[in-house]
Structure 1
Amino acid sequence: MSSLAIKTRRSFVTMPELLLLMVAIVWGTSYGLTKTAIAYTSISMFIAIRFGLTGFLLLPLALKDFKQGKNRDWKVAIPTGAILALIFFFEVYGVSQTSASNAAFLISLNVIFTALVDSLLSKNKPSQSLMLLSVISTVGVLLLTYHQDLGISLNSGDLCILTAAALRALMVTMTKKLTDNKQITNTTLTCIQAFAVAISAYLVGSLIAQEPLSQLPTDREFWLVTAFLVLFCTLFAFYAQNYAVRKISPTKASLLMASEPLFGALFSMMWLNETLSNVQWIGAAILLFSVLAASVNKPNKA
């Protein structure tokens, strides 16, 4: 009787698994919500507000870490913050020019890009399975961007999302390289990165686009959406992911996180009434398969 009870308990989803699934869900919603937020303001203003709020919320914890002497190598966060700024400029602009569901699937290719970048930097020849997955995922991208009137058409938004996915791969690799054996807490790292993104966006908006910060959006929906993105898609997701990945296997964690584009597509259909054609669904399925396979096969150290 007791062994049956143990098996029954094991059949339920554990807390780390549930948290990672929730992270995948909230990150999936971010593409549709971002599309809603930038309808009220410019891309640079939205990025500055979102990451400025994130940085200020993390600042008390980061300062506490500084007082305790845990951040002697804090400067390593600056270059990764610059990369993160580029990621979000490309990603948010891409979302503004393509569908949120397309963006969710295309950005997931960072898993495959990361494996390729890791192979190049380590001077190891990419495995045959990785090369095959790269070819398969390319077919998925072409089908996902198929339109009945235009045929296969990668617009500027799709290309920006693919660039953001490649930059995410560079971000992961450089963060690992720069922070390895360095004294800086995850909270401080995220805080400095957030401020780097916010300051970059503000400079772009004020100096290039001539957008004064005083012209903040006043719409209630904008601030509700932005608050959700800051609290759930950044702060909650950050801590939940760090907690969960230490409790379960890397393979299981990757599989749960790789479900993000599926949730992104479903949310976009409900929130923005977006639709995918049958051909695009096939492309999306191929992309999802490629990302899941890459997640299963990637080395644990990645």
Structure 2
Amino acid sequence: MSSLLAARRVDLLLLLVAVAWGSSYLAAKTLTGTVGVTVILSLRFLITTLALALIWLIGNRRRAGRRELVTGVILGFTQAAVLLLETQGISGTSATNAGLIISLVIVFTPFTESVAFHVRLPRMLFVAAVTAVVGVCLLVSGDGFAAPTLGDLLVLAAAAVRSIHVTAVSALTRGRGYSALHLTLTQSAVCAVVYTLADYQGVLRAVHGFDAGQWLGVLYLGVACSVFAFLVQTWAIQQTSASRASLLMGTEPIWAVLIGITIGRETLTVLGVIGAALIITGTYLGLRAETRHRAATVPAGRESAVKP
């Protein structure tokens, strides 16, 4: 009975991570209507970096090695590019669309990994990719078939770049025993520096001019969507299988849709609903195919499931 309750607790926490990620699109969308994208990202990652640094200080304070630090810096720049594209895209589309389109990273990543590591892919991944892409076409079509908005294209580009980032994470860290906390802290610090330098005057104005609601939004993105999600997923993956964790956290686009429609009062046309269903189906099929393929080719204990 106790083991069942423990398993359910892990599942619940992983679902909370998915809810936090799914809600991040609406939170970012709300903030982009008041200040610039780089200002939002600067404040978000300054908060994230400070929180992670505090966690490091409370912990064992082991210093990162030189190669570990260099790897974190490189990944920090690719992460900064992903989030800039994603957040800029969110400002030009709906939170619902953004949450669904960015989920294509689940389908894109196996293809970038296949190119990087010369690995053959299961056929189901191609079926999942076609299903998801058709879903995106329907989602962005509105009342009829039309060209996607610039925001939609930027989020799609973010999904593609994120798949490259995830592949880079795997290529640069596999088998090296790097600390997840060190890498995440370094990446967050790089993002904070890049975004702050991009518009430091805007950041200073925001610090002095933000109201309580805006600070709450930034804190939510920095603490709940970054620090909390990182800590929970790192702990939870040690308590369950990577495949189960991936499937639970893969519900992110579903929460993005539900939150966008209920709280954000966004709407979907009939074609949009069909497209959303196809995207969710495609990402789910892709995730299952990838995890089964990984389980068949990777020795036990070598799997991982970390949000890029």
TM-score, normalised relative to structure 2: 0.88
Return the alpha-carbon distance in structure 2 between the equivalents of residues 55 and 142 of structure 1: 37
After TM superposition, what 4+ stretches of structure 1 lie above 4 angstroms from structure 2?
8-13, 63-67
Identify if the C-alpha distance between structure 1 residues 199 and 70 changes in structure 2 by more than 3 Å, giving closer, same or farther: closer
For residue 124 of structure 1, report the CA deviation from its aligned partner.
Answer: 2.9
Question: What amino acid is aligned across from residue 81 of structure 2 in structure 1?
Answer: L
Aligned residue in 1 for 2:267: 275
Q: 2:113 aligns with which of 112, 118, 136?
A: 118
Structure 2: which 5+ residue stretches go unaligned?
296-302
For residue 199 of structure 1, report the CA deviation from its aligned partner.
Answer: 1.2
For residue 162 of structure 1, report the CA deviation from its aligned partner.
Answer: 0.9
For residue 264 of structure 1, report the CA deviation from its aligned partner.
Answer: 0.8
Question: What amino acid is aligned across from residue 131 of structure 2 in structure 1?
Answer: I
- Give the 3-state SS of the residue equivalent to 2:205 in structure 1: coil
Q: Does 1:102 find its partner at 2:97?
A: yes
Which range is displaced more, 217-226 or 58-67? Answer: 58-67
Return the alpha-carbon distance in structure 1 between the equivalents of residues 7 and 19 of structure 2: 16
- Give the 3-state SS of the residue equivalent to 2:165 in structure 1: helix
Return the alpha-carbon distance in structure 2 between the equivalents of residues 292 and 44 of structure 1: 32
Aligned residue in 2 for 1:174: 168
Identify if the C-alpha distance between structure 1 residues 292 and 151 changes in structure 2 by more than 3 Å, giving closer, same or farther: same
Aligned residue in 1 for 2:300: none
Identify if the C-alpha distance between structure 1 residues 215 and 12 changes in structure 2 by more than 3 Å, giving closer, same or farther: closer
State the percentage of identical aligned residues: 29
Aligned residue in 1 for 2:281: 289
Q: 1:41 aligns with which of 35, 39, 45?
A: 35
- Give the 3-state SS of the residue equivalent to 1:152 in structure 2: coil
Q: 1:259 aligns with which of 238, 244, 251?
A: 251
Structure 1: which 5+ residue stretches go unaligned?
1-5
Q: Does 1:228 find its partner at 2:223?
A: no
Identify if the C-alpha distance between structure 1 residues 69 and 202 changes in structure 2 by more than 3 Å, giving closer, same or farther: closer
**C-alpha offsets along residues 143-166 of structure 1, whole Å, 9 cap, x if unaligned?**
111111x52321111111111111
Q: Does 1:31 find its partner at 2:21?
A: no
Aligned residue in 2 for 1:195: 189
For residue 123 of structure 1, report the CA deviation from its aligned partner.
Answer: 1.7
Q: Does 1:237 find its partner at 2:232?
A: no
Q: 1:130 aligns with which of 125, 150, 169?
A: 125
Return the alpha-carbon distance in structure 2 between the equivalents of residues 67 and 241 of structure 1: 21
Question: What amino acid is aligned across from residue 261 of structure 1 in structure 2?
Answer: P
For residue 41 of structure 1, report the CA deviation from its aligned partner.
Answer: 1.1
Return the alpha-carbon distance in structure 1 between the equivalents of residues 199 and 63 of structure 2: 35
Matches within 5 A, 1:5-16: 10=4, 14-16=8-10
Q: Do the aligned partners of 1:35 and 1:100 also contact (CA within 8 Å) in 2?
A: yes
Return the alpha-carbon distance in structure 1 between the equivalents of residues 232 and 46 of structure 2: 21
Work out which of the two has the higher radius of gyration on C-alpha atoms and give 1 or 2. 1
Q: Do the aligned partners of 1:77 and 1:189 also contact (CA within 8 Å) in 2?
A: yes
Aligned residue in 1 for 2:211: 219
**C-alpha offsets along residues 65-115 of structure 1, whole Å, 9 cap, x if unaligned?**
785345452221001000010011001001000000000011111011111
Return the alpha-carbon distance in structure 2 between the equivalents of residues 249 and 230 of structure 1: 27
For residue 167 of structure 1, report the CA deviation from its aligned partner.
Answer: 1.6
Question: What amino acid is aligned across from residue 189 of structure 1 in structure 2?
Answer: L
**C-alpha offsets along residues 247-292 of structure 1, whole Å, 9 cap, x if unaligned?**
2222221221111111111111122210111111111111101111
Aligned residue in 2 for 1:82: 77
- Give the 3-state SS of the residue equivalent to 1:14 in structure 2: helix
Question: What amino acid is aligned across from residue 294 of structure 1 in structure 2?
Answer: G
Identify if the C-alpha distance between structure 1 residues 70 and 199 changes in structure 2 by more than 3 Å, giving closer, same or farther: closer
Question: What amino acid is aligned across from residue 38 of structure 1 in structure 2?
Answer: T
For residue 184 of structure 1, report the CA deviation from its aligned partner.
Answer: 3.5
**C-alpha offsets along residues 20-72 of structure 1, whole Å, 9 cap, x if unaligned?**
11100111110001111122211111100100111111113335778534545
Return the alpha-carbon distance in structure 1 between the equivalents of residues 3 and 70 of structure 2: 46
Which range is displaced more, 183-192 or 29-38? Answer: 183-192
Count of equivalent residues = 291
Which range is displaced more, 45-54 or 164-173? Answer: 164-173
Which range is displaced more, 113-122 or 53-62? Answer: 53-62
Identify if the C-alpha distance between structure 1 residues 224 and 254 changes in structure 2 by more than 3 Å, giving closer, same or farther: same
For residue 178 of structure 1, report the CA deviation from its aligned partner.
Answer: 1.3
